Amino acid sequence: MPFYRITGERHYRDIALRAAARLRDRLVVTYISSWGPMNDPRVRASSAIDTMANIPLLYWAATESGDASFMLAAEAHADRPRLHAPRPAALSRGSNMTRRAAIG
């Protein structure tokens, strides 16, 4: 994506769109499976927070290609941690900093 933005060469656009399509193909209902063969049930049941870094690629692909399925995949994956892995307020960065400041 950055190379396409810098050079405008269609070759780089096509590479980025293929990467986004591969990522979208790893969507398992509401999250993107991070690694491994998709026919392995253990793989299909796993994801990593690192895959969140790919969400901008999916949004870009939706805009660039006009294919809304990229956006839907990004939104489904982005909602997964919020819905299924909430952090207690005491673990948020702001509350930790406040707590450290109070302790000294």
pLDDT per residue over 35-74, tens digit each? 677 777 766 666 666 678 888 999 999 999 999 999 999 9
Amino acid at 75: E
Phi-psi region of 36 (alpha: psi -120 to 50; beta: other; left: phi over 0): left
Q: What is the DSSP string of the chain?
A: -HHHHHH--HHHHHHHHHHHHHHHHTEETTEE--SS-TTSHHHHT---GGGGGGHHHHHHHHHHH--HHHHHHHHHHHHHHHHH-PPPGGGSHHHHHHHHHHH-
Taking residue 92's Cβ as centre, other Cβ atoms within 10 Å add up to 11
Q: Tokens at residue 22, please?
A: 């591969």
Query: Is the model's pTM score more than 0.85?
Result: no
What's the rounded Cα separation, in Å, for the pair 7 and 2?
9
Q: pLDDT digit string (tens) for 5-22?
A: 889 899 999 999 999 999
Residue 95 has pLDDT above 60, yes or no: no
Rounded distance between C-alpha atoms, residue 37 and residue 58, angstroms: 21
Segment 15-31 mean pLDDT: 87
